[in-house]
Structure 1
């Protein structure tokens, strides 16, 4: 949204050629609007106040707008505003990427469809998508639109208009720049440039556009706002996070072929790739904007054939989703990675994080539990789940000596361990997180077929050729997956972990201070992270975050292992002492895990997660893009861990923790299509259902109390 100001024929104003007298820069997260107000004195002594307000519309996905208010404080004279479109942009927001190619647009043409409008179209260099923008710029005074002197400059990849007018001392004028943008992927268009020009010509004023934008945000907050009346800082950060999540995963997303980029839409880190962060993102959306979750799951379904191909090329069956996914769903993970500490490019084996497929299975299942979307389950959902289960059964092998199924050659979420020390073979044996997830997947997959209507089951089995032998293998794997343990009962992160060396954590903290990225530190010293007992983030313990204690007890006992609360305490204490938390996702996971055993520690970790992006706790990564998983995870933690939300047999249960920080907590949830409001009063939980024209009802439980709550009803549960 290039807009420049020139006074009296001098060079355009920048912060480098004026004296700032005052400056305020704010972001209104309620409606995702950036506001700036500055007063400056130029080299000729002229004092000017410039206020700006800009937004990308939540009401119209093709609209953005910028408004300037210019006030001449102690001078009168001619003014010129330069309004431009520029396709010469370069991606250079991430320092370590700057030696890579940063120019991604081929210019096509620019033009002037009418006197107050310029337009431009370019094509992305790799995917060859056409991107078009049209901009209409007008100037308004107290009595309406001003008749301005217009000039024009155009090139193939750049165009600008100049708008000249006279400004009197004490007078304020308004410059409104409204922008429309379309791509060749948009629906119901002729071609992008013509549609952008047509749309911008139909836009009203800035204020009219902003009113529609603000109303759209008001509707979102009605569905998504978590109220924490007794802690202003927590309240601010929850809304800060919700605003970012909703800008990336908005209602417009539901109709687009997109996934969840790990760093949102406001940074270049990870090049927009899709990882497993949706595991932390979907739970918040499932209970508020489930249509968005379904649209995002369709991103995975549309790339199911690519996942099948990826599995086939690796020698497996079913669907093996890539660790990093892009436009077409092929594996985008780099094979070398720049270590900024050493300046060296090092091998990267992270594509062996096959657990991303387990996360997708988990996401589908929990979306269906929250929404009751049987149409999705009977169609795309079941097909993806069966193909993922098929992949795991082909990756696993049976070890007759142990009478157990094992999985070799994978990495867990930890990421610091890519292989065994001194080994040329990538991957590890029997990562506990992966194996337990696969045992659970195998159980659900086997039961899922029995849940499908006969005709649907027969059709699915014929379409993807599921045999009775495969189903029998899933059932066996649900009972016989191998899980490694240490001698003292701690769940081992992977087989052979106990043979690794201990690290002198105190020495490294003393020498380096921040040791979150211990892998980079060790490699810069010429050492292998694979050699040591350390973790980047929650790995084995992530099981305690994703599953309730009764669920884990059921899984482990079905596998023939005993499971007690002591396993949780001992395993968490062991790995917490050996985890660097090099990913802020780790703080989310540990906050949720500690909510079961130590609420004080849980809240401390939760506050680190809440502050992680706004405080840039990783020392520079926030500027490269916010962390979607952490932001969504902190929102989900309120319902998942502190309120104790769980769905069993179609009933939405709450098991709230005694948290003084969350006194008076109120939040909306949409369960099985009905919007409810949950409020924590003194000693009670009140659940109120909105008036619903379909007269729907849901079952809600607190402890042993279960109540069917119908449209328009309210019920208070005693705690």
Structure 2
């Protein structure tokens, strides 16, 4: 399999942060940025290691007021390896002449390799090859290897191997004024002569974190070397200096095998003891790497998307698959965690969980549904907090937060730093209540993909009913319109927080929100129909769910208000038409990149709420989440006419007024344009594909990858282009393949049955895996349906426009 390498030639300080994020190594439990082992955190380098769910709260005084923030904690730096030659200062890139430098990332078996040759001030030339991985086979383990070759000299060297607990959260420039200290020291320790270990504790959440490292040195024959070991330790730092002689042209290899445990892990009475003993017992680098490689080979069989005609698209798709899987793997299924919007690759958004999971689950549902189930359980375990939040706000049911962290309370900051103006501004984004509709949508689509009625019965239905109850309590009936309305919320477009000049935050009748509510109020009743009568009765008693509420939900599914423009375009929210038009050409000429128009306008003393502009798709999201048939049924039930041109006109209208300040916007527009403007759809798809690797937002990717856009591009291939969708019990395809994807192959899993999907030579072939727990499934294109039993394959013939012809 080709197309699995990200390669950087030469060292470039300006892009090192981006490279560190993109070459992170993780396994669904923890992730470590691709920082060089010999460098400390500074304006160029930022070592960072993050474990799912390891949060801590700290208070900062800003303007005399206390501001509380919760962060995903940067854990002790386990990477530290430093080279000293003949007792001199440790080698840093800034102090030597680089003769060659190569930074390579193996996407297939996430492994980071750095190869460099350098000449020091004494004229000594040295080659250093560094390799490391975070094991996908052994969840608590990682390996780091140095191969050191003195090219024109012999002498004495020391390699310092350390575990450094003095780290802080300082990876995002605009958070610099906020408290970044999250760790208190507990104790360092050794386990025999080879293993050093360190235990720390988060300052507020009282989470214990322990790391241990076993250090060994081998000569060019592979024999274990006797080295001088000098120990130095403080309460929050421990190191071993390994001293030995090297000889010209003869390579020496060092292995640093590392283990990680937290007090959230099962089967760990004392995290320090667990880490130390595990490090002692762990296999060597070569064997551990082979186990890691085998585990990834199995993952790729289930997750790869093969695009043979475009090497660049192939590389980027696989880069996205690799990173999504490193954040959300089968190891994640054992954890109590959500999907951090920026993965585990940096500190942007403080590691919080947003609605971005809406873009992540479609890929996971059809490959690793057990991971989706676990991530949805993160929400269920915080249902009580969501119910309390709704009650405190004067509503019923469950009101999940816009930003979620450790325990499910609202983590959205109330102040946000505008980096253009340097001013702290009010943040009203907690009014994005549509996250609750997204959670409902995610549960329903997981159940459709898996038919996991046990999850629905035990957990999902309760969340869905409580979310429907929340929307019924936040909505009110307007007798003049004979319609239900929702006021005081924000839609996905984050540029509009309130009406111009208003003192209160929120908008009235956001179309996306209202249509989602109409849909979920109908589906909530379908949920009850799927459950056994005994479970329905128990749920209704548990929630005190009365017939009157169900009747109100049914009424809301028929009479939610949806605002339209006079020309039939769906209004983003009521009052949108009265906003001013922006001179887009003038702002592009003045600023070039205007993706973050909100910051630009506020820095000028203006207000984005005044204008018809959007950060990202809002009303357009409806055409992304629902098929034309689904949306037509929703609007027909509401009594609105969704004309043949409504979708096209609405999409084109907002496309001209969207700055795409979120990379998710490119995913959404690529998806909705697939049916109307394939060339433009492909153009947006390519921008989304490049958005992180090329850092199109100018510095954001170094703060963490964008999980939504990486997952979203994968979903675009399977859903928008291959046309995969579920209709009842049928896995259907409505292909809209662009010319660049005429040949396409990927694996999926539908309701427990693994299948292979292949587009080739104007045909679609679907094959069911012959072994395992496969069961018969139905697949179809248009009106043609086939039942696939294990080992079966069926072929659908497609014409050049990808419509069904006789096969």
Coarse TM-score class (shorter-chain normalised): over 0.9
Contact 2:733–2:781 (Cα < 8 Å) also in 1 = yes
Greater Cα offset, 15-24 or 686-695:
686-695
1:537 aligns with 2:616: yes
Match of 2:168 in 1: 90
CA distance in 2, matches of 1:660, 1:39: 44
Question: What does residue 7 of structure 1 align with?
Answer: 85
Alignment of 1:558-573 (within 5 A): 558-573=637-652
Q: Distance in 2 between matches of 1:695 and 1:439?
A: 36
- Matches of 1:648 and 1:143 in 2, distance apart? 59
Indicate yes or no: 2:126 matched with 1:48.
yes
Tell me, in whole angstroms, the C-alpha distance in 1 between the residues paired with 2:169 and 2:662. Answer: 24
Q: Distance in 2 between matches of 1:627 and 1:169?
A: 45
Matches within 5 A, 1:227-242: 227-242=306-321
Using the TM superposition, give the Cα deviation of residue 702 of structure 1 relative to its aligned residue in structure 2, in angstroms: 1.1
- What is the alpha-carbon distance in structure 1 between the residues aligned to residue 114 and residue 778 of structure 2? 48
Q: CA deviation at 1:447?
A: 2.1
Residue 371 of structure 1 pairs with residue 455 of structure 2: no
Is contact 1:674-1:692 (8 Å) kept?
Answer: no
Give the 3 Å change call, closer, same or farther, for CA 530–143 of structure 1 in structure 2.
closer
Is 1:578 equivalent to 2:657 in the alignment?
yes
State whether residues 133 and 196 of structure 1, in contact with CA within 8 Å, keep that contact through their aligned partners in structure 2: yes
1:668 is the counterpart of 2:747: yes
Report if aligned partners of 1:674, 1:689 keep a CA contact under 8 Å in 2. Answer: yes
Conserved 8 A contact 1:358-1:437: yes
Partner of 1:69: 147
Q: How far is 1:98 from its partner? A: 1.2
In structure 2, the residue matched to 1:589 is 668
Residues 1:100 and 2:178 aligned together: yes
Pick from 298, 320, 335 the counterpart of residue 377 of structure 2: 298
Q: How does 1:697-708 map to 2 (within 5 A)?
A: 697-708=776-787
| Residue equivalent to 1:21 | 99
Query: C-alpha offsets along residues 371-400 of structure 1, whole Å, 9 cap, x if unaligned?
Result: 111110111010100000000000001111
Query: 2-side partners of 1:218 and 1:279: how far apart?
Result: 27
- In the TM superposition, what are the counterparts of 1:182-201 in structure 2 within 5 Å? 182-201=261-280
> Is the counterpart of residue 251 in structure 1 residue 330 in structure 2?
yes
Counterparts in 2 of 1:279-678, with a 5 A limit? Answer: 279-678=358-757
Query: How many Å apart are 1:8 and its aligned residue?
Result: 1.4
Q: Which runs of 4+ in 1 moved over 3 A?
A: none
Distance 1:143 1:637 in 2: 48
Equivalence for 2:795: 716
User: 1:422 and 1:39, CA in 2 relative to 1: closer, same or farther beyond 3 A?
Assistant: same
TM-score after normalising by structure 1:
0.99
Tell me the distance in 1 between the aligned counterparts of 2:376 and 2:792. Answer: 33
1:115 corresponds, among 174, 193, 197, to 193
For 1:10, what is the secondary structure of its paired residue?
A: coil
Aligned residue in 1 for 2:45 = none
Equivalent residue, structure 1, for 2:295: 216
- CA drift of 1:658 comes to 3.9
**Which of 39, 62, 67 pairs up with 2:117?**
39
Cα deviation code 1:538-592 (max 9, x no counterpart): 0001000000001111000100001122000111111111111000000000000
Could you tell me how far 1:450 is from its partner in structure 2? 2.1
Alpha-carbon distance in structure 1 between the residues aligned to 2:453 and 2:714 = 26
Match of 1:78 in 2: 156
CA distance in 1 between counterparts of 2:671 and 2:603 reads 33
Tell me, in whole angstroms, the C-alpha distance in 1 between the residues paired with 2:300 and 2:222: 36
The question of whether the paired residues in 1 share the 8 Å contact of 2:111 and 2:132 is answered with: yes
Q: Distance in 1 between matches of 2:728 and 2:297?
A: 34
Q: TM-score, normalised by structure 2?
A: 0.89
Structure 2 contact 191–277 (Cα < 8 Å) conserved: no
Q: Aligned residue for 1:277?
A: 356
- 3-state secondary structure, aligned to 1:565: coil
Mapped to 2, the partners of 1:143 and 1:703 lie a distance apart of 62
- Structure 1 stretches lacking a partner, 5+ long: none
Query: For residue 225 of structure 1, what is the aligned residue in structure 2?
Result: 304
1:143 Cα deviation from its structure 2 partner: 4.5
For 2:733 and 2:508, the matched residues in 1 are separated by 38
- Is 1:135 the counterpart of 2:135? The answer is no
Deviation string 1:398-419 (CA, Å, 9 cap, x unpaired) is: 1111110000000000011111
Q: State whether residues 682 and 738 of structure 2, in contact with CA within 8 Å, keep that contact through their aligned partners in structure 1.
A: no
More divergent stretch after superposition (539-548 vs 1-10): 1-10
Shift of 1:7: 1.2
Alpha-carbon deviation of 1:525?
A: 1.1
State the alpha-carbon separation in 2 of the partners of residues 179 and 698 from structure 1.
45
- 1:575 match: secondary structure: helix
Q: In 1, distance between residues paired with 2:529 and 2:484?
A: 24
CA contact (8 A) 1:229 1:663 kept: no
The structure-2 alpha-carbon separation of the partners of 1:409 and 1:714, relative to structure 1 and needing over 3 Å to count, comes to same
2:192, 2:775 → 1: CA distance?
A: 53
Residues 417-448 of structure 1: CA distance to partner in whole angstroms, max 9, x if unpaired? 11111111210110000000000000000222
Shift of 1:695: 4.8
After the TM superposition, which of the residue ranges 695-704 and 190-199 deviates more from structure 2? 695-704
Q: Distance in 1 between matches of 2:736 and 2:582?
A: 36
SS in 2 for 1:409: coil
User: How far apart are 1:657 and its partner, in Å?
Assistant: 1.3
* Other structure's SS at 2:264 match: coil
2:136 is paired with a residue of what secondary structure?
Answer: coil
* Cα shift readout 1:196-254 (whole Å, capped 9, x = no counterpart): 01100111110011011111111111110000000111000000111110011011101
In 1: Cα distance, 2:243 partner to 2:421 partner: 53
Distance in 1 (alpha carbons) for counterparts of 2:318 and 2:515: 35
